[in-house]
Structure 1
Amino acid sequence: MFDVTELPLIGAAALRARSAARVLRTLPTDAKDGALTAMAEALVEHTDSILAANAVDVAAARADGTPESTVDRLRLDADRIEGVAAALRQLVALPDPVGDVVRGSRLPNGLELRQVRVPLGVVGIVYEARPNVTVDAAGLCLKSGNAALLRGSASAFETNTALIEVLTEAGEKAGLPAGFVELLPADRASVGELLNARGLVDVVIPRGGASLIQRVVRESRVPVIETGEGNCHVYVDASADPAIAEAVVLNSKTHRVSVCNSAETLLVHRDVPFLPRLLRALTDAGVTVHGDPAVLEAAGAGAPAVLPATDEDWAAEYLSMDMAVRVVDDLPEALDHIARWTTGHTEAIVADSATAIAAFTAGVDAAAVLVNASTRFTDGGEFGFGAEIGISTQKLHARGPLGLPELTSTTYVVTGRGHVR
């Protein structure tokens, strides 16, 4: 039995979640869907109190000099609350993965073998800034039969507290067990306790910046599903169509720069004649280009300034209107560059050559490979999977969008008729 005295900050919450997880794993789909619907309605009904709490967090963030882009991610309004409520309603429409038979067969000895999806149990999620993650995580864990231990950022603590109070009251009134979702203290010590709660917590998922993810991976004694960090590349092959290349590069970089599936590096084959066009398109869109000597030369006199690129640029997850650009001699050199600097999130190729496409898709090691399409499509919703908790960049258990099936494990159910070995 785990000694919860070693966890003075989170021990009581973890025990409640552990107890709730035993109930949730057998909860029928209609009960979970009814609770999700009630939780969505409650969020909208309590908009005023949630916004009042959010105003406290926003004011504190601005007083601390937080950049407005970060404040905007923290800020809620009535439309955004309706949006997070809609996300819960969307979960109702998604298939319940619990109980799905992954595979099954009759063995030669007559035993019936089924591999069945079951909940993970207690899922700890450590995340930053965006309070919508609080609702998304609670809903995803509930639909997949898991209890959720949520540790949000201190900057959103008042908002997260208000959200959890609303979700807890509505969920318990709808028949959910106490502890189905718990909000942990927003301090560094609580993260340390969560990462050491092996035996109470089944898996921890970090969602945020590189430093947060690295700390969780480095320190956790609980199994971790690593998510998020995205140094994504777009490679433009010599066979690429200029118009397609420009559209893919611009959308990958500029559609939304602060997310993990935005592109950070552009690799261009030396025989591509339209590199100046790509550079002009990027700079016209407000992108600061960090280029190698060949890119500096291609920019030419009178072109927008290109900053010299260093190894720091090749490694950077900018999350800003910056892009590193390099000219490569051939596709193998592009693959070598990606292999050195990738975070294993998303890599894209723009090409007409079937040979180049086949070599690229086979040669890169990433959760998602895009062909003649923007890196911004690496997303559970865009893939048609519905909501997600993040993008897994590891190789064990789950890789890519972490949707409902990825928040489950499996059990083998073996049925016989008095079989003995």
Structure 2
Amino acid sequence: MTVITPELAEAFQPGDHLLVLQETGDLLHVPAAQIALAAAAVDRAHAAFMAMSAVPDQAIERFFDRFAARLDDPSAWHAIAEANRQDVERAQSGGRSTTRLVATDRMRQDMIAGLRAWRDSETLRGRVVERIDHPGWTIAQVAAPLGVVGFVFEGRPNVLADAAGVLRSGNTAVFRIGSDALGTAQAIMRHALVPALDEAGLPPGAISLVESAERSTGWALFADRRLSLAVARGSGRAVAQLGSVARQAGTAVSLHGTGGAWMVADRDADAERFSAAVDASLDRKVCNTLNVCCIHRARVTDLVPVFLAALESAGRARGFGCKLHVVAGDETVLPDGWRTATVRVRRAEGERTEPLTEIQSEDDLGHEWEWEDTPEVSLKIVDDLDHAVTLFNRHSPRFAASLISQDPEAHRRFYDTVNAPFVGDGFTRWVDGQYALNQPELGLSNWQSGRLLARSAILSGSGVFTVRSRVTQDDPRLRR
């Protein structure tokens, strides 16, 4: 039995839904108006999906080409950039982070490049992935579109271009984007995406945006059983709630809630390579940014100064210094100045003065530091490589891990034992679908909830498909 609060009882109206999350006991109030908005968007996407089977691949390619061309058009981008400027101002006035929200020219060029990559890519739709021959009959295993894909993203406007990749395999999509980026998303839909759908002759609703700033709209969307896949990215708790809603509806999920990469400098780490890897992993705050650095105890004397210098270098590049967290007991490896100094830190809610170094517990190594312009990292001194791997597997979000070592055997052991989908030997910021695989990513998934079934932790449009079986019977008298 669950007892609801008086506030919830007062707010509940006819037609509203109450979602009870079995995993956590959370009670999610979904107003009828938000249910209607999400259902209408899924209605459009479902109707479009049924029509996509008659759409030739050339029309889908034309959509990507026209979408890219409109983003490349100065007048269209001016309108989008103005909407983004207003979104950024609203977020800043509310003390919220804007590191992922600003639609820079680099973001624009990445969106255009990604769309053209989809245009030029091969489609899996209709491809025979396996053929099994029997006497008198044959089975073909054929790749086919999956269906309607629901997306809930944080305030990151470029996802509309990235996630449009699901159309390459004949799927359709419904987006719900964070309130901070809603104006930008509406501008992209109005000035680029919807006109591109029309020009390509794709069915209306092939990509729909749920135009609501209410978080409950995302719950309503993920509770719709007509979704074939639910993709969520954002803060840990919000993503966990969305995943629970989708799983209870019986929908497959792709989730990425907590990021933060780990780097291990082993006993024989090259100091120059280590320095470059740290600096390059802290150029901006995203999910694959360096979050925890482990240094072998035998190399404290020379590698700790190298690490601190690289951290300072990353801070200077952004103009706001840096900040360090060190696990209790390891602070003795730091110079006195690092233990007593303060730093001017730029947070989403404004600038403030904080200690340059703060002590944290080992159990908090899984915490992802969210920073604006002040690179922020945890430091842990480890006894050996196995100690570092044990800490990663116990405390991290099991996302990205990098080993700096000159020993091939150490790299083999690290890869075999560290429980992460993304493993490297240098900087951590390579973890990105477009950068690494030349395919815009729909989302990244970590292994916090277990390994993923039969797919990479980088979800791209070409990976959203199902397999149908088609039999050709040559012998008309065949029977079992």
TM-score (normalised: structure 2): 0.78
Is the 1:25–1:118 contact (alpha carbons within 8 Å) kept by the matching residues of 2? no
Q: For residue 290 of structure 2, what is the aligned residue in structure 1?
A: 263
Matching residue of 2:49: 21
- Aligned residue number for residue 10 of structure 2: none
| Alpha-carbon distance between aligned partners in 2 of 1:161 and 1:189, rounded to the nearest angstrom | 19
Matched with 1:404 is 461
Shift of 1:294: 5.4
Q: Please list the CA deviations of residues 135-156 of structure 1 after superposition, one character each: whole Å capped at 9, or x if unmatched.
A: 222x212223211100011222
Q: Compared with structure 1, are the counterparts of its residues 66 and 6 closer, same or farther at alpha carbon in structure 2 (3 Å cutoff)?
A: closer
Query: 1:25 Cα shift?
Result: 4.2
In the alignment, structure 1 segments of 5+ residues that lack a partner are: none
Once residues 196 and 383 of structure 1 are traced to their aligned partners in structure 2, the CA distance between those partners, rounded to angstroms, is 33
User: For residue 352 of structure 2, what is the aligned residue in structure 1?
Assistant: none
Residues in 1 aligned to 2:195 and 2:168: alpha-carbon distance in whole angstroms: 17
Q: Give the match's secondary structure for 2:389.
A: helix
The residue aligned with 1:275 is 303
2: CA distance between counterparts of 1:283 and 1:261? 16
- After TM superposition, give the deviation of residue 112 of structure 1 in Å: 2.8
RMSD of aligned Cα (Å): 2.5
SS in 2 for 1:389: strand
How many Å apart are 1:279 and its aligned residue? Answer: 3.4
Counterpart pick for 1:330 among 384, 396, 401? 384
1:234 partnered with 2:263: yes
The alpha carbon displacement at 1:308 in A equals: 1.8
- Secondary structure of the structure 2 residue equivalent to 1:164: helix
Q: CA separation in 1, counterparts of 2:34 and 2:89?
A: 35
From 324, 336, 350, the counterpart of 1:289: 324
Aligned to 1:60: 90
Aligned partners of 1:282 and 1:211: how far apart in 2?
A: 32
1:207–1:312 distance in 2 versus 1, CA, 3 Å:
same
Aligned residues: 409
Q: What is aligned with 2:26?
A: none
Using the TM superposition, name which of 90-99 and 27-36 deviates more.
90-99
Matched with 1:182 is 208
Counterpart position of 2:369: 318
Is residue 47–residue 78 contact of structure 1 (8 Å, CA) maintained in 2?
A: no
Residue matched to 1:156: 181
Deviations 1:8-35 (A, max 9, x none): 2221221111111122245332111111
Alignment of 1:22-421 (within 5 A): 22-43=50-71, 44=73, 45-67=75-97, 70=98, 73-76=100-103, 80-81=107-108, 83-107=110-134, 109=135, 111-137=137-163, 139-166=164-191, 167-184=193-210, 185-198=212-225, 200-220=226-246, 221=249, 222-252=251-281, 254-256=282-284, 258-272=285-299, 273-285=301-313, 286=315, 287-293=322-328, 295-302=330-337, 306-311=357-362, 313-320=364-371, 321-370=375-424, 372-394=425-447, 395-417=452-474, 418=476, 419-421=478-480
Partner secondary structure for residue 377 of structure 1: coil
Alpha-carbon distance change, 340 to 420 in structure 1, aligned in 2, over 3 angstroms: same
Aligned-pair CA distance for 1:397: 4.7
1:325-369 deviations in whole A, cap 9, x for unaligned? 111112221121011112121111111222221111010111111
Q: Secondary structure at the match of 2:42?
A: helix
Alpha-carbon distance between aligned partners in 1 of 2:59 and 2:203, rounded to the nearest angstrom: 11
User: Retained in 1: the 8 A contact 2:114–2:434?
Assistant: no
Deviation by residue 1:354-396 (Cα, 9 ceiling, x = unmatched): 22211110101111111x2211111112323321112122412
Cα deviation, residue 407, structure 1: 1.8
1:94 Cα deviation from its structure 2 partner: 2.1
CA, structure 1 residues 77+275, in 2 after alignment: closer, same or farther (shift >3 Å)? closer
- For residue 104 of structure 1, report the CA deviation from its aligned partner: 3.1
One-letter amino acid matched to 1:195: F
Partners in 2 of 1:62 and 1:239 — Cα distance?
45
Assess if the C-alpha contact under 8 Å between 2:165 and 2:462 holds in 1.
no
SS class of match (2:279) = helix
Structure with more strand by fraction: 2
C-alpha distance in structure 2 between counterparts of 1:227 and 1:98, whole Å: 27
Q: What are the Cα deviations for residues 236-271 of structure 1, in whole angstroms up to 9, with x where unaligned?
A: 11122222222223322x122x21111211112222
1:282 deviates by: 3.7
Identity percentage of aligned residues: 27
CA distance in 2, matches of 1:279, 1:47: 41
Question: Does the alignment pair 1:7 with 2:38?
Answer: no
**Does the CA contact (< 8 Å) of 1:21 and 1:146 recur in 2?**
yes
Q: Structure 1 168/6 Cα, relative in aligned 2: closer, same or farther at 3 Å?
A: closer
Separation in 1, partners of 2:311, 2:132: 58
**Contact conserved, 2:255 with 2:443, CA < 8 A, in 1?**
no
* Distance change in 2, residues 1:99/1:330 (3 Å): same
Map of 2:343 onto structure 1: none
Structure 2 unpaired stretches of 5+: 1-31, 316-321, 341-356
Q: Deviations over 1:45-66 (max 9, x none)?
A: 5234333433442343343344
TM-aligned CA deviation for residue 77 of structure 1: 6.1
Change over 3 Å in CA distance of 1:283–1:384 after alignment to 2? closer
Q: Normalised by the size of structure 1, how large is the TM-score?
A: 0.88
Query: 1:112 touches 1:415 (CA, 8 Å); kept in 2?
Result: yes
Separation in 1, partners of 2:302, 2:139 = 58
